[in-house]
């Protein structure tokens, strides 16, 4: 059983893509700042429509996600 004194800050992101395989970002040295105003929110209608997308549109969305993750990984590499 964990005690409160055993807890620590950590961030662990894991995803899998056909292009890059398994991608893991893990850190314990970060500073989190939360903006009280959300930068963007998806409307309920848009979210529902996204679940109804044909396969080609879903693949396009997956490609966009992969591009975003690649940019994120580039920034992490630059900061190290």
**pLDDT of 13:** 86
Q: Is the pTM of this model over 0.85?
A: no
**69 within 8 A of 23, measured Cβ to Cβ:** yes
Q: Which residue has the higher pLDDT, 70 or 79?
A: 70
**22 within 8 A of 14, measured Cβ to Cβ:** yes
**pLDDT of 77:** 79
Confidence of residue 52 (pLDDT cuts 50, 70, 90): confident
**25 within 8 A of 13, measured Cβ to Cβ:** yes
Give the Å distances, CA to CA, from 41 to 28, 37, 38, 45, 57.
Answer: 28, 10, 7, 12, 20
């Amino acid at each position: 059983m964990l005690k409160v004194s055993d807890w620590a800050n950590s961030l662990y992101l894991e995803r899998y893509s056909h292009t890059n395989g398994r991608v893991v970002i893990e850190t314990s040295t970060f500073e989190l700042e939360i903006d009280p105003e959300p930068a963007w929110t998806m409307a309920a209608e848009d979210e529902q429509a996204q679940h109804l997308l044909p396969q080609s549109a879903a693949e396009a969305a997956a490609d966009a996600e992969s591009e975003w993750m690649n940019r994120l990984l580039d920034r992490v590499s630059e900061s190290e």
